[in-house]
Structure 1
Amino acid sequence: MENTNQNFKNNSFFKKVLFSIITLIIIIILTYATVTYIGMKKTILDVKNSANMNELAQANSTINYLFEMTKNLALYIYQDEDLVKLLHIEDKEFLNSLDYIKLRTKLNTYTHTFEFSDSIIIYNSKLDLITSTEYSIQNYDKPLANAIKKYINNDMKEYAEFAILDYLEEDGKKNTAFLFGLKDWKFITPDNQTTIGILIKPEWLFDNLEIINKADANQEKEIFILDNKGELYSSDAKLVKDESLNELKNIVMNQPQNSDYFDVYIHNVKYKATYIKNEMCKWKIISIQPYNVFMSQLYKITGIFIAITFTIILIALGLAFIFTKHIYVPVNKVVKQFIHKNKNISNDLKIEDELGFIVKSYENAVSQISIQQSDLKSSKKYIRSYWIKRLLMESKMLSLEELKKNDVEELLNVNLLEEFIIIILNIDENGEFNRHTIENQRIYRYAIENISQEVIGESFPCNIVDMGEENLVVLVSLKDTKGVVAQIEECVRKIQQTVVTYYEFSLSAAISDKIENYSDISKSYKKALHLLSYKLIYGNECMIKESMLEEIFESNKEMFILQKEQKLEGLFISDKEELFRTEINEIFETIKNMKYSEIMSSINYLSFLFYKIIKINFPMQFNEQIKQMNILNKNIFNSASLEEIKEIFIEIYINIHKNPQENISTTNNMLVSTIIQIIEENYKDPNLSQEWIASTLKLSYSNVGKVFKLVEKVSIAEYVNKVRLKYACELLENTNYSINDIFNSVGFVNQSYFFTLFKKYFGCTPKQYQLQKKFKQF
């Protein structure tokens, strides 16, 4: 109690709540701040990329405009009747004439008409002559003239194109010329490379591009032209020589898009690069700008935003403290009430804080209630199962007074004076279900019970019981009989579909006719079992009703055994051996006159009929007689004589009626069936015993043990041990659990007792058994 009070004095819960709220607030605010910052940064980058692309689009238009203007100028010169003579001069003496000087003067006039034009040249390939307004080009010994001639004769591919020429001056200095060339397309041949050329002023081109690129005076941008040879050009000749631009050049050259933007590092400084391709000149125009220039505004806003964020956090912390203090008041009151009313409860609990004290006190109370409810519910479950089985097997022997005395109507939630319908759900033997372990099969049957209860229980009061042999029986109470058959059929289909969907194995179903009196329940149950046997005809996942059998008899008249089925079943149940022998002899005499395929079909059906009759009417002898049935089937496939097969059928009949076990009361069988169900579902409980079972069923200890031993030939304790050992073997074969974990998980308490029992039944220790099984699997 002192520890509890100390925790309360330290206000552990208050501190935890306050810390949680503060942490949550900080996480929310910081998350919001981070998302906002990322959003702002993305917006700025998107706006900047869009602005850069618009500027480059204008620069691209400028180059297209220059291309069109120079092309028009060249065409204008080409159409000038005087100047065009320079393209076709064949006499070198003409170069010394006054007319040649006049033509050069006229050419010079065109040059100064346009501000972008540096000079105009006319190359006459016949005379290998360049006529220009500039002497440095006119003189063939000059470097620029040689570069122009080389380009026209070797590199010019189109009849009209822009080119950038690199050449060395006489003093060794590298220089660049922008040339537009227009060939004489009317007379162009491999020997005729006559061309009109216009040299563009590089400073005019780059000045115009710089004006567009640096519309904002505060933006530190640089613009470049990348030609189709991968050479970079700029107004700053020193800048393009910088080797750090090689990465920029390589990225742009390898980009397949006509325009794009990307990040690049130059001298360890991050730049935003944007480019666009000029289709006319086959150039790419590139603009670069340092990140920190256009992101400076974001950095300023970020500083302000951080200050605001911390201010909000401080305010939120104050509000969190006030709010936590406010919600702590009722918690403290509840704790004081618990301590006042339960002064000793805290001594048995590990208390961390005030809320933990409340929760654990509440859990302790709920646990006690849950244990009581669980015991009550478990007891009712087994009693309900017992009475459903009695109604199914011996309803004729149960009086209404006896049923009401035992509160069966309240227990089953039915009115015994109402009508009923029986549904038998049978798990089809298609391999999927049988591949599971015994424990998992039990779990699946329980799952099918729950599904059936949920589906049918929505429309009708019903009770479900597991009758073994993969049969689940549903007893449906009908308060309103109008249209119920169609409803029930729909419910059965839904159950079948659900089981197939979730568990991948199928169910077949048999539905009885309406039962007007509760005393006819056992009779209808036998009929429903009989219906289920016709699954042989309808196959797995079928739904069989009594009305369907009439069609079978009408459509299979040649199968005379079907017509004798009812009579043969009556003779088999009765102890009239002579009449039975006469009927069997008559059947086999008829079979002798059939074709081979019909003989095999008839004998197989007769074998199935015996199987069904024994299973329904002599359940206690079913396991023993099934061995004889297996011998019969084996003889059939080994081509045994009809006489031998007939004698096996008669021998089975005689063994059934000589066995005194069937005299055991059906009531005892139902009691034993219920006890076995309890053992199978509770074998893991170490407290499971004959006394526990008798208490659950509200029957006497001695009577329960006596009846069980009479039917099963072993005591309840021995049977419990066998069940536990069965599941222990399953765990040894299929898991890697330790021996200690296994014997605890199946309900044994003492390891020594477990080892003694195991060796008694299997002749080896659990470990040896596990190794033997794994060795066989290997």
Structure 2
Amino acid sequence: MLKEKWKTHIRERHEKQKKNQKFQRIFLGISAGIIGIVLAGMSVLYAVMRELIIDQNIQMSTQTFAQVQKEFDNTDDTANEIATQVMLDDVCSELIGTLTEEWPDSIQMDRIRNQLTMYQTANPTVKSIYIYSSVPDLILTSGSRFGASSIENFPDYGIGKYMTRTSEYVGGGLIPRAVSGVYQSDPRKEVKVYTKILFSSHGRSAVAVNLDYEAIADSICSMDILNESRMLIFNEKGDRLIDISTTTIEASDELRRAVEEIAGKGAENREITVSGGEKYFISYLHSEESGWDYIKITKWEEVFQTLTVLTECTLLIIAVIVTLMAAVMGKSAVSLVRMQKKSGPGIHQAEINRLKEGFLSDFLHSRKLFTKRQLMEQMEKFDFTLEEEKNYTVLILQIEEKEKFKELYGEKGTYDIEFGYWNIFEEIFRKDFKISGVINKDYTLSFILETTGAEQVQERLKKCFETFLKEQKRFIPWHFFCIGTEQSVNLEDIPELNEKLEKALRESFFYPEDTYCTMELIWQEHSGRADYQKLEAGRLIKAVRCGEGMKAVYDSLTEELACCRSSEYMNAIIWLGITLMRNLGTVVPDEKGVSQFLVNLTLCEKRGQTDECFEQLFGQIRKNQEKSGEKKGMAGRLDEVKKYIVENFRDPNISLERLADEFGGSPNYMGRLFKKDTGISVSEYINEIRLREVMKELRETNRPAKEVAEQCGFISSNYFYTYFRKKTGMTPQTYRETWKESKEKEEAV
């Protein structure tokens, strides 16, 4: 009996062990299957994520390179405006238009240098300005580092081939170069600059504006996409425009060969591992429009950081599964099922939104990036409502006072606030239109609206914009300018329409903030060019000296420019401001105030801001006039009359009558006041200043006395010789010889 029971127990135990072994095999099979599924799923997800990251990186690189090129275009425009203003300047044109082989005198050269320095200080990105004339082979610079020099002996060795041979300056863009030889303490020191050269119409003269390389590079380095990266940009001639790095990337032979191979084949991206085990991701783009090549080298872990995290998660999941396999079989199965349900992470919605935004930005600003088939595939992929057979229009919303906005909220905060404006704008306009939008890098938001079958589109757009202005004040009160168009186009023509709007947006200088306008209206009202010679700046100068009617004269001048493009208008206004500063003498603010006025003028973004800038200047001038007693009559203006004589004594036509007309008074009354104040007549005062200058020239130069006298304002040589003998007791030649002899004796002693 016991034996039978024992056999039964052994048999049941054996069967139980077989069941356990079977369960273990099944569990092990399931576990291995789960691990295989996890590995396969992660591999697929890894590949998908990798392609998405590469695609995103290329799109972001495209946006960054477009931003960089726009930065260069804006910098080029700024340099061109400065060079144009120098070329048109009254003082500088004395050298540009000269036909004589002799150099100007030291006073004239100092005046030109001062003018160049004023233009330099008005723009903080300008390091120096050169002006060159092949006749009489003279180059002058802003500041006081160099004296007058021929182009061959100029310390900046490399500039000569560009300013003397236009063939070396093909394209007219910015020249990246290293300025060497300009530091006497360290001749080997080099400073990187971008140089813009503008040649005169006759080709004998040129103006070179040298811009700060570091300032431009710093603005590019602040872009988030350049983290742990090095970016190189080459223009169509192969010049390296930019080579900046936000991390240490050693230039090895493997890396150099990879970059050359990618640029030669035109490939878009490449992974490469160099000696030392460092891995890099290289992006390459070529712009057909500008002919530029863009290369960005990024550390692999910076680009594919998500993949590294995904790999670590995969290893962690497998480790957990293996650990659970050693635990209780029943609980392991349940845990594995739960793990399986939790595994397989997907793309976060915020990342999908960023990819959608990147695609829409590429579509609007880089229409050559997509074929028609690729465009429709991307539309379907990102679930856009844009359809091929519909009609659309474009709106661009611009945030006003961009520099102030960036200063308040910074790079990171700016995007979040722009995103809030974007949501408010879409929410309001979606009631009347199907709308899709994107945030641009230049503080603008672009929106695509479906207009198929819509009526009274412009009235509805204006009404929606007014509603937006009311609603956004609850968010963060700010000012905007919105520009649209009366055109409706199909899907493929949207980028071209957007490009037209961007060009028109740059001409929106004349319109006040919180305004909706169309590009058709801008093109209709502002299409002319400013003619500086027709602007009677003398009327404003005379009004300022008299202290009356300044605003009225200024308004009449700006009305003459109202039909010009914004760039032409701004050039003319800056020219007017510089002319005013140069001719007003004692009534203008101090030197610091002059510099700040010109800086503020160049930073203006709207016509109302330039008007406010001049109104503040007029107010300061009134205060200065009241303090100096100029409101009390001609007696309070004698210091200004004296300064005017000192600045213009070389003019042979200067006289008491002209001074009275210039300062608004009677010649007889002015003459009496002047003699009472100085003890001599106006004409005697003018001649004494001329005589002092003649005597200085006789001491410092070997030029003929007659020539010196004519340059200093003496019309009649007979009168000059008589006056000189009367005042000095000797002839000009005797004076020169006597002074030389005394100087030689002093040197001998």
Q: TM-score of the superposition, structure 2-length normalised?
A: 0.35
Structure whose CA Rg is larger: 1
Higher helix share: 1
Q: TM-score of the superposition, structure 1-length normalised?
A: 0.34
